[in-house]
Structure 1
């Protein structure tokens, strides 16, 4: 009996520790000429636990309309796995269809997700870009459009997320050549318990029975075994 109480006490302690654990998400995106880099790192317990996801190569497939990405993921350098993956227009279509399916089945989806994002703290947000159209007049117009678009996007983000700092962003015009380079760097922080509560709410307010998912990742939940991954 004492051993049972001890095990239950340890499990409760671990659960409480997990619920109150803060997770930091480091996101870096760079677009320089035709080279793209996406780097995502998850960190908890002051770096004791960390997981990285890196997509260093994004290019178009010569034989199809698919996007080819080379991604690396793992907890340690020696354990990182590298794989090539194709993202086809059909994959994107299925992803949008799945999102529509979730919105259809979950009551108050927007309210639930917004409640969670409101608790996600943004510790850092920088977004700097350089654009050019070779022609001075066209470059000026393009710069103005980019300023308006970027301002609208950041305004939307500050509405949904809890910004702890002022976002830093800029657009530098290049009047001598075609150019569309950008770098985004941000740090997000939230508690695992908050994410767990959001997941429970989404399941709780699910309606309408089983969803008909289309993407390979979620098709198994619909009992569709015909979806195969590369």
Structure 2
């Protein structure tokens, strides 16, 4: 009997520890000329647990309309792994179709996601861009439009996410050369328990019925590989 009580106490302690564990996400995106870089690092327990994803190269395939993505992953138990994948327009459209299917099958999906995003704290946010068209007048007009667009996006983000700092964002015009470079760096933090609760809500408000996914990965999860896009 004592062993059962001890095991239950340990399980409860581990569960509570997991629920209150904070996950910190460091996200960086940079576009310089034609080169794209995405870097995401997730850490917990002051870095004791970590997962890193790097996508150093995103380029167009010369033989098709697909995008070639080269990525690197690094976890605490595995050495760095490199892989290459292609994203075709058909796969992108299948992903959008699957998203619409999920929205249709989950009641109040928007409210559930918005509630979770409201718990996500933004510890740092910086978005800086440099644009130019070689023509002063066109660059000035484009800069003004980009300021308006970026301000609208920032306003939308502050509505959904819990910003703990003031977002920093700039647009620097370049009147002498043509370019469109940008960089985004942010740090997000949330509790594992909040993510678990959101997952439970998604299952609870599932309308029922089987969803016919089109993308390969989701079709395999549901065992309906025949619905994959040709």
TM-score bracket for this pair, using the shorter chain length: over 0.9
What is the Cα deviation at residue 77 of structure 1?
A: 9.7
1:217 matched to 2:221: no
Q: Counterparts of 1:77 and 1:68 in 2: how far apart (Å)?
A: 27
Within 5 A, what are the aligned runs for 1:93-112? 93-112=93-112
1:108-147 CA-to-partner distances (Å, cap 9, x unmatched) read 0000000000010000000000000111111011101110
Q: Counterparts of 1:88 and 1:135 in 2: how far apart (Å)?
A: 35
Q: What root-mean-square deviation, in Å, do the aligned CA atoms of Structure 1 and Structure 2 show?
A: 1.4
Q: What residue number does 1:144 align with?
A: 144
What is the Cα deviation at residue 220 of structure 1?
A: 2.1
Q: Counterparts of 1:109 and 1:78 in 2: how far apart (Å)?
A: 35
What is the Cα deviation at residue 221 of structure 1?
A: 3.3
Q: Counterparts of 2:221 and 2:109 in 1: how far apart (Å)?
A: 19
What is the Cα deviation at residue 78 of structure 1?
A: 6.6
Deviant stretches of 4+, over 3 Å = none
Q: What residue number does 1:12 align with?
A: 12
In structure 1, list runs of 5 or more residues that go unmatched.
none
Q: What residue number does 1:171 align with?
A: 171
Q: Counterparts of 1:10 and 1:77 in 2: how far apart (Å)?
A: 24
What is the Cα deviation at residue 149 of structure 1?
A: 0.5
Q: What residue number does 1:50 align with?
A: 50
Alpha-carbon contact 2:213-2:227 (below 8 Å) kept: no
Q: Counterparts of 1:9 and 1:87 in 2: how far apart (Å)?
A: 47
Alpha-carbon contact 1:51-1:75 (below 8 Å) kept: yes
What is the Cα deviation at residue 9 of structure 1?
A: 1.4
Aligned residues: 228
What is the Cα deviation at residue 72 of structure 1?
A: 0.4
When normalised by structure 2's length, the TM-score is 0.96
When normalised by structure 1's length, the TM-score is 0.96
